Amino acid sequence: MIKDAKNKAMQPEDTQNKAATKQSGKEEYHFAGEGKYEPLTVQASSAAEAQEIWEKERKEV
């Protein structure tokens, strides 16, 4: 076993998605679609705003 090796495990702050959403001040909200609509992930400042965006952009299956 190598004792001097660096820890190469990814941390949540290392991902590009998290970095992009932190910079824009928005969070990602995922809507599964409940079998009637296609799954969709939206970026919004609040859950209410995400709900409005989802209702406009959702597509039936």
Q: Are 2 and 25 in contact (CB under 8 A)?
A: no
**Secondary structure (3-state) at 44:** strand
Q: What is the pLDDT of residues 17-47, one digit of tens each?
A: 555 555 577 899 999 988 899 999 999 999 9
For 32, the 3-state DSSP assignment is coil
**What pLDDT is attached to residue 2?**
65
For residues 1 and 39, give the distance between their C-alpha atoms in angstroms, rounded to a whole number.
44
Q: Give the model's pLDDT for residue 3.
A: 72
Counts for the chain of helices (H) and strands (E), in that order: 2, 2
Q: Is the pTM of this model over 0.75?
A: no
